[in-house]
Amino acid sequence: MVVFSGIAGSEGIAAGKAYVYINNQTVIGMEKVAPDAVSTELEKLNEGIELSKTQIIRLKEKVLQEFDESKAQIFEAHMMMLEDPEFIGAVREAVISDCANAAYAVKKIADSYIALFEQIEDDYMRDRAADIKDVTSRLTRNILGISSWDLLSINSPVIIVAHDLTPSDTAMMNKDYVLGFTTDVGGRTSHTAIMARSLGIPAVLGLGDISEKIQDGDYLIIDGFEGKLILNPDKDQQAEYEIKIGQHSERRKKLQEVAFLPAITVDGKSVEISCNIGSPEDIHAGAANGGDGVGLFRTEFLYMNSNALPTEEEQYEQYRKAAVLLQKKPLIIRTLDIGGDKKLPYLPIPEEANPFLGWRAIRICLERLDIFKTQLRAILRASFEANILIMFPMISGVREVREAKKVLEEVKDELRRENMKFDENIKVGIMVEIPSAAMTADTIAKEVDFFSIGTNDLCQYALAVDRMNAKVSDLYQPLHPGLLRLIKNVIDASHRHGKFTGMCGEMAGSEEACIILLGLGLDEFSMSAAAIPAIKNIVRNVSYKQAEEIANHALELDTPEAVLEYARNILNQINKGSVQSTSLGRMGI
Ligand code: PEP
Ligand code: MG
Q: Give the mutation target among 504, 506, 525, 527 for probing the ligand 1 site: most ligand atoms within 8 A of CB.
A: 504
CA of 559 to the centre of ligand 2 (A): 25
Q: Which atom of ligand 1 is nearest to the CA of 457?
A: 2
Q: Give the mutation target among 360, 362, 456 for probing the ligand 1 site: most ligand atoms within 8 A of CB.
A: 456
Residues with CB under 6 A from ligand 1: 189, 296, 298, 337, 433, 454-457, 504-505
- Tell me the H-state helices in 25-101: 38-66, 69-82, 85-98
Q: What is the pLDDT of residue 576?
A: 73
pLDDT tier at 71 (50, 70, 90 boundaries)?
Answer: low
CB 448 within 8 A of CB 429: yes
DSSP H/E element including 500: strand 500-503
CA of 336 to the centre of ligand 1 (A): 12
433: nearest Cα among 529, 512, 501, 364: 501
CB 581 within 8 A of CB 222: no
Q: Give the mutation target among 189, 294, 300, 341 for probing the ligand 1 site: most ligand atoms within 8 A of CB.
A: 189
Output DSSP code: residue 166: -
pLDDT in tens, 288-337: 999 999 999 999 989 987 778 999 999 999 999 999 999 999 999 999 99
Q: Give the mutation target among 296, 457, 460, 522 for probing the ligand 1 site: most ligand atoms within 8 A of CB.
A: 457
Ligand nearest, relative to CA of residue 526: 1
Question: Using CA positions, which residue lies closest to atom 5 of ligand 1?
Answer: 505
Question: Using CA positions, which residue lies closest to atom 3 of ligand 1?
Answer: 454
DSSP SS3 for 344 = coil
What number is the average pLDDT over the span 439-458? 98
How far, in Å, CA of 28 to CA of 337, rounded?
A: 36
Q: What is the pLDDT of residue 580?
A: 46
Question: Using CA positions, which residue lies closest to atom 6 of ligand 1?
Answer: 454
Q: Which atom of ligand 1 is nearest to the CA of 393?
A: 6
In the CATH scheme, what architecture does the domain 2-22+151-254 have? 3-Layer(bba) Sandwich (3.50)
pLDDT tier at 587 (50, 70, 90 boundaries)?
Answer: very low
CA of 456 to the centre of ligand 2 (A): 6
Residues of the chain with CATH 1.10.274.10: 35-144
Q: Which atom of ligand 1 is nearest to the CA of 504?
A: 5
For 502-520, what is the HEC assignment? EECCHHHHCHHHHHHHHHH
Looking at the annotation, which residues are catalytic? 191, 504
pLDDT in tens, 274-293: 999 999 999 999 999 999 99
3-state helix, strand, coil in the chain (%, to 5): 55, 15, 30
- In the predicted structure, residue 189 carries a pLDDT above the cut 70: yes
DSSP SS3 for 270 = strand
Q: Which atom of ligand 1 is nearest to the CA of 456?
A: 3
Ligand nearest, relative to CA of residue 459: 1
pLDDT tier at 392 (50, 70, 90 boundaries)?
Answer: very high
pLDDT in tens, 243-258: 998 998 899 899 999 9
pLDDT tier at 62 (50, 70, 90 boundaries)?
Answer: confident
CA of 31 to the centre of ligand 1 (A): 47
Question: Using CA positions, which residue lies closest to atom 8 of ligand 1?
Answer: 456
Q: Which atom of ligand 1 is nearest to the CA of 506?
A: 3
How far, in Å, CA of 323 to CA of 293, rounded?
A: 10
Question: Using CA positions, which residue lies closest to atom 9 of ligand 1?
Answer: 298
DSSP H/E element including 461: helix 455-463
pLDDT in tens, 85-129: 999 999 999 999 999 999 999 999 999 988 888 777 776 776 677
The sign of the dihedral angle between the CA atoms of 132, 133, 136, 142 is negative
User: How many other C-beta atoms can be found within 10 angstroms of the C-beta atom of residue 53?
Assistant: 17
Q: What is the pLDDT of residue 325?
A: 97
Q: Which atom of ligand 1 is nearest to the CA of 194?
A: 8
DSSP SS3 for 450 = strand
Q: What is the pLDDT of residue 147?
A: 60
CA of 450 to the centre of ligand 2 (A): 16
Ligand nearest, relative to CA of residue 504: 1
Residues of the chain with CATH 3.20.20.60: 257-587
Q: What is the pLDDT of residue 183?
A: 93
CB 232 within 8 A of CB 2: yes
Cα 10 to the chain's mean position, in Å?
Answer: 12
Ligand nearest, relative to CA of residue 300: 1
Q: Which atom of ligand 1 is nearest to the CA of 337?
A: 9
CA of 457 to the centre of ligand 1 (A): 6
CA dihedral of 149, 152, 157, 163, whole degrees rounded to 10? 30
CB 518 within 8 A of CB 542: yes
The residues that bridge with 297 in the sheet, in sequence order, are 277, 333
Please give the model's pTM, rounded to 2 decimal places.
0.80
Could you confirm whether domain 257-587 is CATH 3.20.20.60?
yes
Strands 427-432 and 450-453: parallel
CA of 452 to the centre of ligand 2 (A): 10
CB 187 within 8 A of CB 7: yes
What number is the average pLDDT over the span 35-42? 91
Q: What is the pLDDT of residue 141?
A: 81
Q: What is the pLDDT of residue 307?
A: 75
CA of 189 to the centre of ligand 1 (A): 8
Question: Using CA positions, which residue lies closest to atom 7 of ligand 1?
Answer: 456
In this prediction, what percent of the chain has a pLDDT beyond 90? Answer: 67
CATH number for the domain whose boundaries are 35-144: 1.10.274.10
Backbone angles phi, psi at 568, to 5 degrees: -65, -40
Ligand nearest, relative to CA of residue 487: 1
Strands 219-223 and 228-231: antiparallel
CA of 325 to the centre of ligand 1 (A): 23
- In the predicted structure, residue 541 carries a pLDDT above the cut 70: yes
